[in-house]
C-alpha cells in the first residue's frame, strides 16, 4: 500500500511538472518578439499599399494626368476668379473667360511654333552633319570603340547558327504615329480645359461637401481654414512661378533674337517650360543653347555667348528673383527635388517631369498644415533647421552664465 501511494504521488508530481512546462510553452517567453511581429505586420501592409498606389498611378496615367493638370490649372487661376468676384463678376463668367483665353493662347502658341518646329525637324540631318564636323576632336576615339564593338559582334554572330531566321515586326510609320499623337494631345488638352472650368465654377461646392463630412463644428472650422490656407499657398506659388517663368522665357528669347539664334519663339516656350524644373531645367537649357549656337556660329566664342547669357539669367532668377518674391518658405531640398523629378518622370514621362515640383510643393504645404507631418516638412525644406538643445546642454549653458 505504501509503495502504491508513493508511485501515485510521483505520477501526480510528474503530471504537474509537465503541465507547468506546457503552460510555460504557451506563455510568450520574449515579449519583444511579439511586439516586433505586431510592428512588422502594419509595415508590410503599408509597403503593399504603396506598391499598389504606384502601380495604379503608372498604369492609369492616361486618366490621372489630365485630372492632375486640370487641378493645377484651377489652382493657378483660382485667385484671379476670386479677385474678379470682388468686382461683382460671377464665377461662371470669369472662369469661362479665363479658360477661353488660356485655351486660345495655347492653340495660338502651338500654331505659331509649328512652323519653326517643322523646320527644325527638316533640318535635323544637316544639323547632325554639322555637329559631327564640329566634334572631330572626339570622333576618332569613338570610331575606334565602335570598330571594336563591331568586331566583337561579328565574332559572337559567327558562333551562332547562320540558318536562324529573324522575325521583324513592322512598326507603324512616322506620319501615322505623329497623327495619333496629335489627336491624343488635342483631346487631352480639351479635357484639361473643360475640367478646369468646372473645377473653378464648383470650388465652393467642393469645399462645402468636404466640410459636411466632419460632424463637429470645431472640426468643420479647422478643415475650412486648412483648405483655404492650402489653396492660397499653392495658388500663390503656381501663379507666381508661372509669371516668373514666362518673363524669363521672354527675356531669353529677346536676347537670342538679338544674337541671331534660330527660332527665338521656340526658345521662349522651351525656357519657360524648363524653368519649372529647378537646377535640372537650367542645366538642360544651357547645354541645348550651347549646342545650337555651336552649329549656328563659326567660332567658339560666339557659341559661348548665348549659353553664358542663359546661365546668367537663370542664376539671377533662381537665386534672387524667385526667393525675393516667394520668400524662403517655399524653398525645397535639392536632393528631394531631383528624386521627385526622377520618380514622376518614370511614372508619367515628360508631363510628370513638369509636374514633379508642383506636386512636391503641394505635399510640403500639407506637411506644414496637417498635424503629425511636421517632421516631413523639416526634411523637405531647403533651409537648415537648428538642432534643439538637450537638457544637459541647457544645464551646462546656465552654469557657464553663472
pLDDT for position 221: 84
Question: What does the pLDDT read at residue 367?
Answer: 84
Q: Confidence band (pLDDT; 50, 70, 90) for 4? A: very low
Which pLDDT score, from 0 to 100, does residue 251 have? 94
Strand-pairing partners, residue 332, are 381
Residue 40 has pLDDT above 60, yes or no: no
Q: Which of 49-58, 351-360, 377-386 is predicted least confidently?
A: 377-386
pLDDT band, residue 195 (cuts 50/70/90):
very high
Average pLDDT over residues 13-19: 51
Return the pLDDT at 137. 53
Digit-coded pLDDT (tens) for 114-140: 777 777 667 667 766 666 666 665 555
Residues whose CB is less than 8 angstroms from the CB of residue 307 and which lie 6 or more positions away in sequence, other chains included: 286, 287, 289, 290, 293
Query: For position 140, what pLDDT does the model report?
Result: 55
* Measured distance CA(366)–CA(221) in Å, rounded: 17
pLDDT at 2: 47
pLDDT computed for residue 147 by the predictor: 63
139-172, pLDDT tens digit by residue? 555 555 556 556 655 655 554 444 445 554 555 5
Residue 72 near residue 358, CB atoms below 8 Å: yes
Task: State the pLDDT at residue 153.
Answer: 58
- The pLDDT value recorded for residue 390 is 44
CA–CA gap between residue 14 and residue 235 (Å, rounded): 78
pLDDT value, residue 397: 47
Structural domain boundaries of the chain? 59-134+179-201
Q: In the predicted model, what is the mean pLDDT of residues 318-323?
A: 85
Q: Between residues 116 and 20, which one has the greater pLDDT?
A: 116
Tell whether the torsion through CA atoms of 337, 343, 346 and 349 is positive or negative.
negative
More confident residue, 107 or 158: 107
Q: How confident is the model over 263-290, as a mean pLDDT?
A: 87
What pLDDT does residue 55 have?
A: 92
CA distances from 305 to 253, 290, 310, 393 (A): 14, 8, 9, 54
Interval 196-228: pLDDT, tens: 999 888 888 887 887 888 888 888 888 888 888
Average pLDDT, the chain: 76
Q: What would the pLDDT profile of 296-315 be if each residue is shown by its tens digit?
A: 888 888 889 999 999 999 99
With beta carbons less than 8 A apart as the criterion, state whether 383 and 331 touch. yes
Amino acid at each position: 500500500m505504501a509503495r502504491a501511494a508513493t508511485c501515485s504521488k510521483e505520477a501526480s508530481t510528474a503530471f504537474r511538472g509537465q503541465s507547468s512546462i506546457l503552460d510555460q510553452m504557451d506563455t510568450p517567453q520574449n515579449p519583444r518578439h511579439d511586439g516586433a511581429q505586431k510592428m512588422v505586420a502594419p509595415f508590410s501592409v503599408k509597403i503593399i499599399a504603396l506598391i499598389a498606389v504606384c502601380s495604379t498611378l503608372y498604369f492609369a496615367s492616361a486618366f490621372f494626368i489630365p485630372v492632375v493638370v486640370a487641378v493645377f490649372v484651377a489652382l493657378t487661376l483660382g485667385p484671379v476668379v476670386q479677385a474678379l468676384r470682388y468686382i461683382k463678376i460671377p464665377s461662371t463668367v470669369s472662369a469661362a473667360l479665363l479658360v477661353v483665353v488660356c485655351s486660345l493662347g495655347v492653340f495660338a502658341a502651338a500654331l505659331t511654333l509649328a512652323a519653326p518646329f517643322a523646320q527644325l525637324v527638316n533640318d535635323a540631318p544637316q544639323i547632325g552633319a554639322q555637329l559631327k564636323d564640329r566634334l572631330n576632336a572626339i570622333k576618332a576615339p569613338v570610331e575606334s570603340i565602335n570598330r571594336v564593338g563591331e568586331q566583337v559582334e561579328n565574332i559572337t554572330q559567327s558562333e551562332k547558327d547562320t540558318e536562324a531566321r529573324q522575325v521583324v515586326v513592322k512598326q507603324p510609320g512616322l506620319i501615322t504615329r505623329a497623327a495619333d499623337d496629335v489627336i491624343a494631345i488635342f483631346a487631352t488638352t480639351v479635357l484639361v480645359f473643360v475640367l478646369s472650368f468646372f473645377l473653378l465654377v464648383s470650388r465652393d461646392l467642393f469645399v462645402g461637401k468636404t466640410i459636411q463630412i466632419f460632424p463637429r463644428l470645431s472640426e468643420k472650422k479647422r478643415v475650412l481654414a486648412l483648405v483655404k490656407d492650402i489653396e492660397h499657398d499653392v495658388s500663390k506659388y503656381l501663379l507666381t512661378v508661372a509669371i516668373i517663368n514666362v518673363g524669363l522665357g521672354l527675356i531669353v528669347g529677346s536676347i537670342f533674337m538679338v544674337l541671331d539664334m534660330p527660332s527665338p519663339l521656340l526658345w521662349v516656350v522651351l525656357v519657360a517650360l524648363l524653368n519649372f524644373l529647378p537646377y535640372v531645367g537650367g542645366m538642360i537649357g544651357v547645354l541645348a543653347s550651347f549646342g545650337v549656337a555651336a552649329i549656328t556660329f563659326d567660332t567658339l566664342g560666339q557659341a559661348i555667348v548665348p549659353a553664358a547669357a542663359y546661365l546668367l539669367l537663370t542664376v539671377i532668377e533662381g537665386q534672387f528673383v524667385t526667393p525675393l518674391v516667394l520668400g524662403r518658405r517655399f524653398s525645397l531640398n535639392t536632393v528631394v527635388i531631383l528624386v521627385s523629378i526622377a520618380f514622376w518622370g518614370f511614372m508619367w514621362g515628360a508631363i510628370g517631369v513638369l509636374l514633379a515640383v508642383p506636386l512636391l510643393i503641394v505635399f510640403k504645404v500639407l506637411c506644414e498644415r496637417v498635424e503629425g507631418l511636421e517632421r516631413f516638412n523639416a526634411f523637405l525644406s531647403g533651409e537648415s533647421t537648428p538642432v534643439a538643445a538637450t537638457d544637459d546642454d541647457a544645464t551646462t549653458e546656465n552654469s557657464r552664465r553663472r
